[in-house]
Amino acid sequence: MGKSFMARTIPKPHKRQSLFKGLSESVKARQDEQDRMFLVSFKDMDRTQGQTFAEWESEELLSKALETLRDYCCAPLLDQAGSKFTIYGSFPPDEKTDFTKPKHIPEDAQWARIHVAGEPCIIGHVVRNVFYVVFLDKKHKFYKSELKHT
């Protein structure tokens, strides 16, 4: 009779082979590059402020938002800075925002936004190469600014 499933042993962590052991330098370099790519997480999403996915879907913004996020995931986060992706740093002062900082977000969070199309933005915070989505902001009310060229 063969070994049963229960008899199978799992190697202890210190005896497991490294994922990188035996890999060529070019493969290691590619893996390092992949580890810096822009990643997205929805774990910090605040459903009490801004809009819901359903609202964005009904206004045909959700697919645009997902396409935008997909495009950002093709390069390292820090290469993304520009007119559509901005890291603000701290949460905006009360007079500059219609939002309240959620209690589950760390005090030292680096807040950022991604413009989707015109006014609509995805608001979140950045940790290393991960953009944590927190709010969907259809009217750009997270960090209100003076209108330009009007």
pTM beyond 0.85? no
Burial of 114 (0-12, 13-18, 19+ CB in 10 A): buried
List the chain domain ranges.
39-150
Q: What is the pLDDT along the chain (150 residues), one digit of tens a residue?
A: 555 555 566 666 666 555 555 556 655 555 555 667 899 999 999 999 999 999 999 999 999 999 999 999 988 877 877 778 999 999 999 999 999 999 999 999 999 999 998 899 999 999 989 999 999 999 999 998 765 544
Which CATH architecture best describes the domain 39-150? 2-Layer Sandwich (3.30)
Q: Assess contact for 77 and 36: CB atoms under 8 A.
A: yes
- Segment (H or E) for 124: strand 121-127
